[in-house]
Chain A
Amino acid sequence: MKKRCGVFILFLLIPAVTLGGTLLFPARQYAWISLCVALLSCLPFFLTFERGEGAPARLILLSSLTALSVLGRIVFTPLPGFKPVTATVVLVALTFGGEAGFLTGSLSALISNFWFGQGPWTPFQMFSWGMVGWLAGRLSFPLKKSRILLSLYGAFAGVLYSAVMDVWTVLWADGAFNLSRYGAALLSALSFTALYAVSNVIFLLALGKPVGGILERVKVKCGL
């Protein structure tokens, strides 16, 4: 049932919204359609979580990890782009699985924007950080084994995040997806993309051992 619901959203609802959107609102409404798509793609994860069983300890732990990654974003505010959020989300996913990773990532985006300001970018951030977490959970076996792969994943996550957010920038400012504009946006954000990638690698290397260790300890301690 849970699965079917997710499949339903992924394969029916999203295309329907896209198609309906383009038909109903010709021209420049891609921005809003893409926004709906971003929101909808978060839904299956939220639904599974809502339906699932879990001890209070697990829920509170998720809250705590989410608050922690937001804390990271706030504490490192003076350094633009240099944030431990992605690293935290990845490490959570490696220990507690992809679902936890997705939730930590997407809820961190939602909550930190209560701080930094909500906007149409919120769903995109929720989706990007969530997916970074979910993917890390899927790839946890190799990522746990090798620090090199983990660093590579960090760099990849930085690029992915930047690329997704740039899609949004272009759609938002332009109404339609324009490849040359997208290229220009990517190029102008290149320094940021590089910063994301590098900072992710740094944070993953610096936090990987200690934080991973603490999370494992907690996992064992409360029998999750």
Chain B
Amino acid sequence: MEILRVENLSFRYPGAPREALRKIDLAVGAGEFILLCGPSGCGKTTLLRLLKKELSPVGEKSGEIFFEGMEQKTLSEPGDIGFVRQDPESQIVTDKVWHELAFGLENMGLPQGVIRRRVGETASFFGLQGLFRQRTDTLSGGQKQLLNLASVLVMQPKLLLLDEPTGQLDPIAASEFLSTLQKLNRELGLTVLLAEHCLEEVFPMADRVLVLEDGALLAEGEPREIGPALSEIRRDHPMLRALPSAVRIQLSLGGEGVCPLTVREGRDFLERNFPDAREEEDKEKDEGKPTPSEDGEVAAEMKNVFFRYERDGEDVLRGLSLSVKSGEILCLLGGNGAGKSTALNLFAGLERAYRGKVLVGGKPVSSYRGGSLYRGNLALLPQNPQTVFVASTVRGDLAEMLQTMNFTKEEEKKRLEEISRSMGIDRLLDRHPYDLSGGEMQKCALAKALLSEPKLLLLDEPTKGLDAFAKEELRALLVSLKEKGMTAVLVTHDAAFAAEVADRCAFLFDGEILSVDSPRNFFSENSFYTTAANRMARGILRRAVTCEQVISGCRRAVEKRGKSERFSDNGGFAPQETEEREASKAYGGEGGSE
């Protein structure tokens, strides 16, 4: 049965030069799990908000929306369509968990007894009974988002709309959230329309995937059809980069046969088609990236550091020792509460160790007086880049920063131009910081931090909430900064990002560093805490940790096969394409019929 139908929907924000949505047609069957993806600014949020009458943005709308066969205008039960947004914090209305759950039901005017029962039932389904009487501000981000989901579901909606609900969560909380969502869909038959940009885990869950680009529907179909469909449109379509590792690897290696979605399917694919890739491993021992030598200059260092937040509290760091070499990008990984952010704050002088030494540029952090630590030495970007902005335009924030540097007017102007050009934020300067997308905001925050000309950049979860495209941009920025001599320490949960950008990775657990190594050694030694690509290729290419490494490993295998068999000389093809053709041949030949 059809629950939602959208016909020829177009929308334009007031004063906007072009339409945010163009001629969208969409039909959603009851019980379907639909994934909506696309780069940021493609119109995902606009579409979702238009589907919920109460949240419809103001603007020019044309086309029709039907819910259960009724025109949207005539709908009267707000509880029938639930909506969960990205930011866990700003959706909570009341101060107690139980009251938050009851809020929607109170609005529906239900009597006390009914509310009591429904609230209790929902709280136990979502595992919130332990938090039932707690204050909402004491919950973690993941718990808050689960509460938001629960407080929408307590109203028993027929359709659930979610706008990047895991964007602000750490991987474990995100995973828990998504599995709850899947349970709701499978066991309760709830119809789900989910917009996401982090697709690794959610892609296999969906029944159908919609790809939006520039406000129009670009591709639509089952998850397995999306990769091939996108690469059909354009071989290097930017959306391809956002797809799960298995899809990306399979497509790059020819893309024939059934598209694998999960790590398991990806591994089957690789082991069936590239069993001989194993041999290449030794060749890859020499890393592509130069690692700073062990005895390189030290930019910052911690020696046997102990830290706790409260006198009677638990130690957060217990004898942490870590040295950051000049000119490297070091990624700090580890679970929640391992002390990663705390370590950054100690470097930045925002917290003080009660025992041990914290050195920056060879001097103890505490010896920098009157803010001199933040002049030409280091800068820390916090998890939420929003907190970096205090002015009403990006330009205002940058200007304020420059004023503290005692430059002449011309110099200030020059610096502003320089930084905005190098960061690619020229056209964002006069926007309000809060109106920027996650990626844009991150770039502007970075620009602000860079104005003080730090030698050491400390970044706390810089990829949080970023889509694949913005991550790629950030990676390129960091690498180009490194080339100019910048040292960076990143705290991240994003193993794939760390594998691509880091020179060294460190694993923090229980307040100590357990291992520090190059990303290839680091991730290939780990079995849980590693990238999806590595988990997939582990059997044949143990040391390949990024998709690119897996792909090139497999390609080399094919090359070798080609050399030993035959190598026809068709000069008309570019070398890469030849490789891909060979790879596809290999897949077709050995993959058997499926």
Q: Interface residues, chain A, CB within 8 Å of chain B? A: 210, 213-214, 217
| Shortest CB distance A68–B (Å) | 15
Is B392 an interface position by the 8 A CB rule?
Answer: yes
Q: Sorted from nearest, which 3 A-B pairs have the closest CB atoms?
A: A213-B392, A214-B392, A210-B392
Query: Which B residues between 390 and 442 are near A, CB-CB below 8 angstroms?
Result: 392
Residue of A nearest to B58 (CB): A223
Distance of A214 Cα from B392 Cα, bound (Å): 8
Residue of A nearest to B432 (CB): A217
Residue of A nearest to B390 (CB): A210
Chain B residues, Cβ within 8 Å of A217? 392
Distance of A85 Cα from B584 Cα, bound (Å): 70
Residue of A nearest to B391 (CB): A210
Distance of A213 Cα from B391 Cα, bound (Å): 11
Distance of A210 Cα from B392 Cα, bound (Å): 9
Chain A residues, Cβ within 8 Å of B392? 210, 213-214, 217
Chain B residues, Cβ within 8 Å of A210? 392
Distance of A217 Cα from B392 Cα, bound (Å): 10
Name B's interface SS: loop
Distance of A224 Cα from B392 Cα, bound (Å): 21
Distance of A213 Cα from B392 Cα, bound (Å): 9
| Shortest CB distance A214–B (Å) | 7
| Shortest CB distance B586–A (Å) | 58
| Shortest CB distance A114–B (Å) | 11
Number of interface residues of B (CB under 8 A): 1
Distance of A214 Cα from B396 Cα, bound (Å): 14
Contact with A along B26-67 (1 / 0, CB 8 A): 000000000000000000000000000000000000000000
Chain B residues, Cβ within 8 Å of A213? 392
Contact with A along B372-395 (1 / 0, CB 8 A): 000000000000000000001000
Residue of A nearest to B93 (CB): A60
| Shortest CB distance B53–A (Å) | 15
Write 4 A-B pairs (CB below 8 A) sorted by A numbering: A210-B392, A213-B392, A214-B392, A217-B392
| Shortest CB distance B90–A (Å) | 11
| Shortest CB distance B33–A (Å) | 31
Distance of A41 Cα from B514 Cα, bound (Å): 66
| Shortest CB distance B89–A (Å) | 13
Chain B residues, Cβ within 8 Å of A214? 392
Query: Which B residues between 455 and 506 are near A, CB-CB below 8 angstroms?
Result: none
| Shortest CB distance B135–A (Å) | 13
| Shortest CB distance B344–A (Å) | 25
Residue of A nearest to B54 (CB): A56
Distance of A123 Cα from B392 Cα, bound (Å): 37
| Shortest CB distance B95–A (Å) | 11
Distance of A214 Cα from B393 Cα, bound (Å): 12
Distance of A150 Cα from B392 Cα, bound (Å): 23
Residue of B nearest to A213 (CB): B392
| Shortest CB distance B163–A (Å) | 19
| Shortest CB distance A153–B (Å) | 25
| Shortest CB distance A100–B (Å) | 20
Distance of A210 Cα from B391 Cα, bound (Å): 9
Distance of A134 Cα from B150 Cα, bound (Å): 41
Distance of A214 Cα from B432 Cα, bound (Å): 11
| Shortest CB distance A213–B (Å) | 7
Distance of A162 Cα from B180 Cα, bound (Å): 56
Residue of B nearest to A217 (CB): B392
Residue of B nearest to A223 (CB): B58
Distance of A89 Cα from B555 Cα, bound (Å): 68
| Shortest CB distance B554–A (Å) | 53
| Shortest CB distance B56–A (Å) | 14
Distance of A138 Cα from B457 Cα, bound (Å): 51
Distance of A210 Cα from B397 Cα, bound (Å): 13
| Shortest CB distance B60–A (Å) | 17
Query: Which B residues between 193 and 247 are near A, CB-CB below 8 angstroms?
Result: none
| Shortest CB distance B395–A (Å) | 15
| Shortest CB distance A181–B (Å) | 42
Distance of A176 Cα from B468 Cα, bound (Å): 73
Distance of A114 Cα from B568 Cα, bound (Å): 83
Query: Which B residues between 73 and 95 are near A, CB-CB below 8 angstroms?
Result: none
Distance of A145 Cα from B392 Cα, bound (Å): 23
| Shortest CB distance A218–B (Å) | 12
| Shortest CB distance B94–A (Å) | 11
Distance of A110 Cα from B524 Cα, bound (Å): 59
Distance of A42 Cα from B162 Cα, bound (Å): 43
| Shortest CB distance A3–B (Å) | 30
| Shortest CB distance A86–B (Å) | 23
| Shortest CB distance B508–A (Å) | 33
Distance of A213 Cα from B393 Cα, bound (Å): 13
| Shortest CB distance B399–A (Å) | 14
| Shortest CB distance B108–A (Å) | 15
| Shortest CB distance B166–A (Å) | 26
| Shortest CB distance A72–B (Å) | 16
| Shortest CB distance A143–B (Å) | 22
| Shortest CB distance B151–A (Å) | 16
Distance of A28 Cα from B392 Cα, bound (Å): 55
Distance of A217 Cα from B435 Cα, bound (Å): 13
| Shortest CB distance A111–B (Å) | 12
| Shortest CB distance A63–B (Å) | 10
| Shortest CB distance B330–A (Å) | 35
Distance of A170 Cα from B583 Cα, bound (Å): 92
Residue of B nearest to A60 (CB): B93
Distance of A178 Cα from B392 Cα, bound (Å): 52
Distance of A210 Cα from B390 Cα, bound (Å): 11
Distance of A213 Cα from B396 Cα, bound (Å): 14
| Shortest CB distance B55–A (Å) | 12
Query: Which B residues between 344 and 396 are near A, CB-CB below 8 angstroms?
Result: 392
| Shortest CB distance A136–B (Å) | 23
